[in-house]
Chains A and B, each alone.
Chain A
Amino acid sequence: MTATGEELYQQREQRFNDIVALKKPDHVPVIAHTIHYFADKVKGFSQREAGYNHKQHYDAIKDVTVEFGWEFVPTNALFAADGYQALGTTQLRWPGGDLPDDVGFQFVEDEYMLAEEYDEFLADPNGFTLTKIFPRIASNLAGFGQVPIPPLFWMANTYYLLNVGGAILGAPPLRKAIESLLAMSDAVGAYFAADAANAQEMAALGYPRTWGAPIVCAFDMVSDMFRSLRGSTLDMYRYPDKLLATIDLMQQAQIGLARMVMQITGNPRVFIPMHRGAGGFMSDEQFEKFYWPTFKGLVLAIIEAGGVPCPLFEGDYTPRLKYLAELPPGKVASHFDKVDRKKFKEILGDKMCFWGNIAPSVLCTGTPQQVKDDVKELIDLFGDTGTLILDCGLGVPDEAKPENMLALREAADEYGVF
């Protein structure tokens, strides 16, 4: 008898949870962690269409999920391009903005907060974000930096709210900024509707969604979003105390956000994209001081809130495996880009499942046989415990060859049934 969608959904959730909990499943699943443009490319849609035509994009994701035999529907990591457009976003470039139609969106790393602004940010993070950061990341929000906005508590009574607030709100640059925020919200609303419809449809078909929302480790938040790699690196030497104080502040924000998104999405799996903690990016000493404590704290907070932390270790985290051994066993769904898989097995094989690690280069430019050989090597290594989930190192590459993605599934069936 064929299982119903609901039964499949439960079986797949259970299989995933078992693997995370270090229990041997009946077979090795293929679960694509994240998706950007792969589905659109398979269907012949441009990257530009993918960003604007949300339903078409989600329908394409549905089709490839079924066609390529993934057991979960990968979370769409592509956001609403009309949302970027409404804001006049400058922190990202996207097709439909100033990138060609056939190129995917890309983040523009820059010093959105300057080194000399740490004190100002720490003294008033909300005010600083509104008046300094927003204008720097979106041209249509420039008004927040052009009209002098007093601290909100100055207007914490009817008289000043009317006299000061009322006067300021009439200023055209501020009006434009507020209207842009509302337009962004409208655009994103349509995107969220398509997103929710997809989650519901996929659940009915038996596919859980991989993760609910991304939460960024505190150091990466400062480095990626505020100070850039160069800035955050120089700060380690020039302003270590201010950097640490900001990391602490970010940590509170990320833990708060993690709890919030678990509630909003109803998905216990929290994606943590891991960037600057990779091997080569800092010394062990720097890692222990600036990175590890907040990452560990975030992981523990998510577990405590009933969630499953899903860190995706971008770059080569082999030198950090010894730290991961400190995390509670059987609680973390760790996903790897490049890592020495044998060392992982040796150090963490009895503490953590292994997800990912198939090279994007092979999926994009290799042959189906190369993919099968790599899957076989993974299953040979992890088959004894079965605590393995197959996927590319970084989710589905946009340029992956469809025949290679099919080979991944076929190899799982061939070698991974226990």
Chain B
Amino acid sequence: MSNELTDAIVNMHEEEALGLVKRMLDAGTAPTQVLEQAKEGMTELGRRFECEEAFIPELIMGGEIMRGISEELKPHLKGSGAGEKRGTVVIGTVKGDIHDIGKDIVVMMLDINGYEVHDLGIDVPQETFVEAIKEHKPEVVGLSGLLTLAFDSMKGTVDAISAAGLRDQVKIMVGGAPADQQVQDYTGSDGWGSDVTAALKLADAWTAGEAR
């Protein structure tokens, strides 16, 4: 479905998108509807990223436009409640690794796609993942890392989740530039990805049938 706001986001027209949001609100459009149209723009960018028609700059710029729109909508959305969530994800960069660029892009796109995301940050000890799983009861756990030291940290985290008796309750993905099938096998996780599309696909597949 195409509309002006969606198009403005997809075409990276930041000022036009923000102007449209103001005009729509002034004209009495429901803020939830504005948000839906804006999210459609990001979903379309995600689709284009997957088929290599859009790239990281479009996702970052799209995310920036979304941030501006969310700020504009915030006062109007109070009490209206968020839509149904698609699933819950606990994610973080594993112990020893302080890189967050890739993880942050994944977090942004999961959030826009309707997931409740608990981002534990960088250099996250395995116990923190275990505690967060107990607290938030996610369907999906994302372990991110850029350095080769992350392989053992990821494996240790998966082992700790198993030792805590939580392994059957979650699906675990490992991600980052060096991730591949080898890393999935080594860590005993359920999936791997080196870009945001892979993370979304795995999360979608693992939460299929859940409320959306």
- Alpha-carbon distance between A233 and B101 when the two chains are bound, in angstroms: 12
B72-80, B129-137, B163-171, B175-183 - the one binding chain A: B175-183
- Alpha-carbon distance between A298 and B177 when the two chains are bound, in angstroms: 26
CB of A401 to closest CB in B, whole Å: 11
CB pair B183–A361 under 8 Å, yes or no, is yes
Q: Is the interface of B mostly helix, strand, loop or mixed?
A: loop
- Alpha-carbon distance between A237 and B59 when the two chains are bound, in angstroms: 12
B24-32, B81-89, B147-155 - the one binding chain A: B147-155
- Centre residue among A282, A361, A362 by max chain B CB count within 10 A: A361
- Alpha-carbon distance between A70 and B92 when the two chains are bound, in angstroms: 37
CB pair A361–B177 under 8 Å, yes or no, is no
CB pair A361–B182 under 8 Å, yes or no, is yes
Is A234 close to B, CB under 8 A? yes
- Alpha-carbon distance between A236 and B60 when the two chains are bound, in angstroms: 11
Give B183's nearest chain A residue, CB to CB. Answer: A361
CB pair A233–B98 under 8 Å, yes or no, is no
CB pair B182–A233 under 8 Å, yes or no, is no
CB pair B180–A106 under 8 Å, yes or no, is no
- Alpha-carbon distance between A115 and B182 when the two chains are bound, in angstroms: 40
Give A361's nearest chain B residue, CB to CB. Answer: B182
Is A307 close to B, CB under 8 A? no
CB pair B56–A315 under 8 Å, yes or no, is no
Give A37's nearest chain B residue, CB to CB. Answer: B149
CB pair B151–A282 under 8 Å, yes or no, is no
Contact of A364 among B58, B61, B96, B151 (CB under 8 A): B151
Give B149's nearest chain A residue, CB to CB. Answer: A399
Given A104-B149, A399-B148, A280 and B57 contact (CB-CB distance below 8 Å):
no
Interface residues of B in 80-112 (CB under 8 A from A): 96-99, 101
Q: Is the interface of A mostly helix, strand, loop or mixed?
A: mixed
CB pair B148–A398 under 8 Å, yes or no, is yes
Residues in A with CB closer than 8 Å to B101 are: 109, 229-230
- Centre residue among A234, A280, A362 by max chain B CB count within 10 A: A280
Contact of A362 among B96, B177, B182 (CB under 8 A): B182
CB pair B147–A282 under 8 Å, yes or no, is no
CB pair B149–A360 under 8 Å, yes or no, is no
Is A122 close to B, CB under 8 A? no
CB pair A397–B148 under 8 Å, yes or no, is yes
Q: Name B's A-contacting residues (CB within 8 A).
A: 12, 14, 52, 54-58, 60-61, 64, 96-99, 101, 147-149, 151-152, 177-180, 182-183, 186, 195
| 30 A/B residue pairs, CB under 8 Å, sorted by A | A103-B149, A106-B98, A108-B98, A109-B101, A229-B56, A229-B60, A230-B60, A233-B56, A233-B57, A237-B14, A280-B52, A281-B55, A281-B56, A282-B56, A283-B54, A283-B55, A283-B58, A286-B57, A359-B178, A360-B148, A360-B178, A361-B179, A361-B182, A361-B183, A364-B148, A365-B183, A365-B186, A370-B182, A398-B148, A400-B148
**Sample of 10 further A-B pairs with CB below 8 A, known A229-B56, A237-B61:** A106-B97, A106-B98, A106-B147, A236-B61, A238-B14, A280-B56, A361-B179, A361-B183, A361-B186, A365-B182
